């Protein structure tokens, strides 16, 4: 009976973690200031990407802040095309997204 109870409790703990959403955050220096990337994951899959970079140049770096969340979400990786004309902001976003993915255990950190 004890083994059955322990097995049921263990299975419950495993299932509790399954499907739960977790958010991982990383920051990087952009062209105009700090850029923050929040990745929300469920079952090791990126389900939401939020990028904050309020000090990026309006109409230039701000385009990267607006466009890259969808690209990262669709590709399920930080390794997406940069936004033309917003290379520094795009690179900073990708750097922060990579750091968040390392935190989440989606990729390993290179030595």
CB 20 within 8 Å of CB 42: yes
Q: How far apart are CA 73 and CA 45, in angstroms?
A: 9
Structure tokens at 60: 């230039």
Q: How confident is the model at residue 74 (pLDDT cuts 50, 70, 90)?
A: very high
Section 65-78 average pLDDT: 98
CB 104 within 8 Å of CB 77: no
Q: pTM of the entire structure?
A: 0.82
Structure tokens at 91: 């690179």
Write the CA distances from 79 to 59, 98, 100, integer angstroms.
23, 8, 13
| Count of beta carbons in the 10 Å neighbourhood of residue 4 | 8
Report how many helices (DSSP H) and strands (DSSP E) the chain contains, helices first. Answer: 3, 3
Section 54-62 average pLDDT: 96
- The pLDDT of residue 2: 52
Range with lowest mean pLDDT among 2-11, 12-21, 64-73, 83-92: 2-11
Range with lowest mean pLDDT among 6-10, 32-36, 84-88: 6-10
């Amino acid at each position: 009976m004890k083994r059955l109870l322990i097995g049921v409790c263990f299975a419950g703990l495993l299932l509790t973690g399954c499907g739960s959403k977790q958010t991982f955050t990383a920051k990087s220096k952009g062209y105009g200031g700090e850029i923050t990337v929040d990745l929300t994951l469920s079952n090791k899959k990126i389900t939401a990407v939020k990028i904050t970079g309020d000090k990026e140049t309006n109409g230039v770096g701000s385009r990267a802040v607006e466009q890259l969340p969808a690209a990262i979400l669709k590709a399920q990786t930080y390794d997406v095309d940069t936004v033309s004309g917003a290379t520094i902001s795009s690179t900073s976003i990708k750097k922060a997204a990579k750091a968040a993915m390392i935190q989440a255990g989606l990729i390993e950190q290179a030595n």
